[in-house]
Structure 1
Amino acid sequence: MKKNIAIIMGGYSSEYKISLKSGNVVYNTLDKEKYKPYRIHIFKNKWVFVNDKDEEFPIDKNDFSVLVNETKINFDCVFNAIHGSPGEDGYMQAYFELLGIPQTSCSMYQAALTFNKRDLLATLKPFGIKTAESYYLNFGDAIDKDAIIAKVGLPCFVKANKAGSSFGISKVYKKEELQAAIDNSFKEDNEIIIEQFLDGVEVSVGVISYKGETLVLPITEIVSENDFFDYQAKYEGKSQEITPARISEDYARKVGLEAKKIYETLKMQGFSRSEFIFKNDEPYLLEVNTVPGLTTESILPQQAAEAGISMPNLFDNAIEEALIN
């Protein structure tokens, strides 16, 4: 009997359009002989099942079911394709855990921790994970620009602490540019992180649970045409994403071990994609994504393809792992 799979997509953040693309790729890729997929749009004002005629049917949040033509549909598993809140920050994970419905991403705690950049970096530091110098601000804090520059130097990056896809991020070269960058980040989040600029090769490392084992995927080198790997570079073709990365075996070994260490230290499940920059021949962690992009152009599917894992196999494995766990 086919399993009913709810593919959740959309979300409450600026990343909702990218999430809809990822979710539709999953919907179109899943094996229809094995699964019965349902597109579930999650927005602040509505949770709905959207059929192939674009008709909408409201989700019953009491048990995450849907009534379609007087037939109640329950789901065997949820495929999480929501980038940002509430799919990548722990809220949906907690909800499904309370309902006892398996889902493909990591658990609530890991999602909440990795989504909060400064808490993640602070947690991993005692485990020997190297990170850039950073300075934290909460909305309403006094802004001491001289203290910021003394800590992180110039240029530096000003980032929304809990946001993805490079929303709310700026590269700052001069003290006079700091305030505008801080204001921009506060549009996305009420916490921001200001980081030292690391000048080196940037790589992205996918780590997944595959057939019961932790698997480090082939590494991707990020070469942005823009000043850094911003939204345009990520989604509008303004970058080269080279898989496998043009790095030495030593670099590949080091960064692969660090990415795997992070995955296993945090007891992750499902997909993850960690970003690093090399400084003095050592990988420095930038961030960890637990619901990475899943379009045909996205980095993680590129890495899986290089490893000989097709998108149908990648998605099928994610569901099977969720059902086992």
Structure 2
Amino acid sequence: MKKNIAILMGGYSSEFDISIQSGNVVYKYIDRDLYQPFRVHITKKEWFYVDDNDQKHTIDKNDFSLTLNGSTITFDAAFNIVHGTPGEDGLLQAYFELIGIPQTACDFYQAALTFNKRDCISTLKPYGIPTATNYFLNKGDAVDTKAIINTVGLPCFVKANKAGSSYGVSKVKTEEELIPAIDLAYQEDDEIIIESFLSGTEVSVGVITYKGKDTVLPITEIVSENEFFDYEAKYLGKSQEITPARLTKEEEKKVKDLALKVYQILKMKGFSRSEYIFQDGEPHFIEMNTNPGFSEASILPQQAKAAGITIKDLLTNTIEEAIGS
């Protein structure tokens, strides 16, 4: 008998539309010999199943069930491809943990930790993981631009602490640009992280649980046409994503070993994609995405393809890992 799989997409953040695109790719490639997929949209107002006629059917949040034609449908697993809150910050993970339905992303604590850039970096630093120099702000804090520059230097990056897809991110080159960049970041989150500029090759490293083993996928080099790997570079074609990355054997080993170490320190499972920048020959950790973009052109599917893993096989493995864990 086929297993009922809810493909969760949407969410409460600026990444809503990107998540819908990712969810539809999962729906397209999921193995229908094994699974009966259901596209479930997660919105602030309601959760609902969208059938093939684009009709909406409400999900009962009490037990995550669905009533169709008088019959109740329950789910064997949830494929969580919600970017941002509540799918990437631990809220959905905790909900499914409570009601006893397996979901494909990491556990709720790991999701909350990695979604919070400041807390994730603070957790990794005692393990010797290299990072940029950081300065933290909370909304309402007094802003001392000179103290910020004395700490991180110029240029620097101002980022919303809990946001994805480069929303609320600015590259700041002068003291005068700091306040507008901080105001922009506060539009996405009430916490901010300001980072020193790292000059060097930027790479994205996918680490997944594949056939029961933590596996580092082929590395992708990011070459942005813009100042940094921003929204336009990620989604509007203004970047080159080169897989495998043009690294020396030594550089490749360093960043693969580091990415695997980070994955295991954080006790991750399922998908992950972390960003690193080489400075002075050493990879520096920037951030981790636990529900990375999943369009056909997205980085993680590119990396899986380079490793000889089809999208269908990747999805099947992810679902079976979740159900078996």
Equivalent position amino acid for 2:30 in 1: L
Amino acid in the other structure paired with 1:213: K
Q: Which amino acid aligns with 1:150?
A: N
Distance 2:165 2:31 in 1: 29
Corresponding residue of 2:104: 104
Counterpart AA for 1:290 = T
CA distance in structure 2 between the aligned counterparts of 1:89 and 1:252, rounded to whole angstroms: 30
1:305 aligned partner:
305
Q: Does 2:323 match 1:323?
A: yes
- Which residue of 1 is the match for residue 244 of structure 2? 244
Q: Per-residue displacement from partner, 1:135-165 (whole Å, max 9, x unpaired)? A: 0000000000000000000000000000000
**Length-normalised TM-score, structure 1:** 1.00
CA distance, structure 1, for counterparts of residue 19 and residue 79 of structure 2: 12
Does 1:213 pair with 2:198?
no
C-alpha distance after superposition, 1:174-200 (max 9, x if no partner): 000000000000000000000000010
Unmatched segments (≥5 aa) in structure 1: none
1:226 aligns with 2:221: no
Instruction: State the Cα distance separating 1:71 from its structure 2 match.
Output: 1.0
Deviations 1:111-133 (A, max 9, x none): 00000000000000011100000
Q: 1: distance between equivalents of 2:205 and 2:244?
A: 10
Which residue of structure 1 lines up, in the alignment, with residue 66 of structure 2? 66
Residue aligning to 1:157: 157
1:33 offset after TM fit, Å? 1.2
Q: Deviations over 1:282-307 (max 9, x none)?
A: 01000000001111010000000000
After superposition, where does 1:17-36 map in structure 2 within 5 Å?
A: 17-36=17-36
Distance in 1 (alpha carbons) for counterparts of 2:103 and 2:138: 32
Shift of the alpha carbon at 1:8?
0.3
Q: Is 1:264–2:264 an aligned residue pair?
A: yes
- TM alignment of 1:283-294, pairs within 5 A: 283-294=283-294
Match of 1:113 in 2: 113
- Partners in 1 of 2:172 and 2:241 — Cα distance? 24
Q: What is the TM-score with the length of structure 2 in the denominator?
A: 1.00
- One-letter amino acid of the counterpart of residue 119, structure 2: D
2:188 paired residue number:
188
Structure 1 partner of 2:169: 169
Aligned equivalents of 2:267, 2:193: Cα separation in 1: 25
Aligned length: 325
Hey, what's the Cα distance between the residues in 1 that align with 2:162 and 2:27? 27
**Shift of residue 35 of structure 1?**
0.3
* Equivalent position amino acid for 1:190 in 2: D
* AA partner of residue 200 (structure 2): G
Aligned pairs for 1:6-45 (under 5 A) are: 6-45=6-45
- Partner of 2:295: helix, strand, or coil? coil
1:70-118 C-alpha deviation (Å, 9 max, x unpaired): 1111000000010000000000000000011000000000000000000
**Aligned partner of 2:254: which letter?**
K
User: In the alignment, which residue of structure 2 is the partner of 1:276?
Assistant: 276
Q: Quote how far apart the aligned CAs of 1:260 are.
A: 0.3
Question: 1:84 and 2:84 equivalent?
Answer: yes
What percentage of aligned pairs have identical amino acids? 63
Any stretches of 5+ residues in structure 2 without a counterpart?
none
Which letter does structure 2 place at the counterpart of 1:63? D
Per-residue displacement from partner, 1:265-286 (whole Å, max 9, x unpaired)? 1111100001000011101000
Cα distance between partner residues in 2 of 1:51 and 1:284: 44
Give the CA deviation at 1:252.
0.5
RMSD: 0.4
The structure 1 segments of at least 4 consecutive aligned residues displaced by more than 4 Å after TM superposition are none
State the alpha-carbon separation in 1 of the partners of residues 141 and 178 from structure 2: 14
The secondary structure found in structure 2 opposite 1:271 is: coil
Q: Quote how far apart the aligned CAs of 1:69 are.
A: 1.2
Q: Does 1:52 align with 2:48?
A: no
- 3-state DSSP of counterpart to 2:291: coil
Residue 218 (structure 1) shift = 0.1
Residue 46 of structure 1: how far off its partner (Å): 1.1
What secondary structure, in the 3-state scheme, does the structure 1 residue paired with 2:272 have?
strand
SS in 1 for 2:176: helix
Q: In structure 2, how many angstroms separate the alpha carbons of the residues matched to 1:263 and 1:285?
A: 12
Could you say which residue in structure 2 is the equivalent of 1:201? 201
> In 1, Cα distance between the equivalents of 2:227 and 2:187?
21
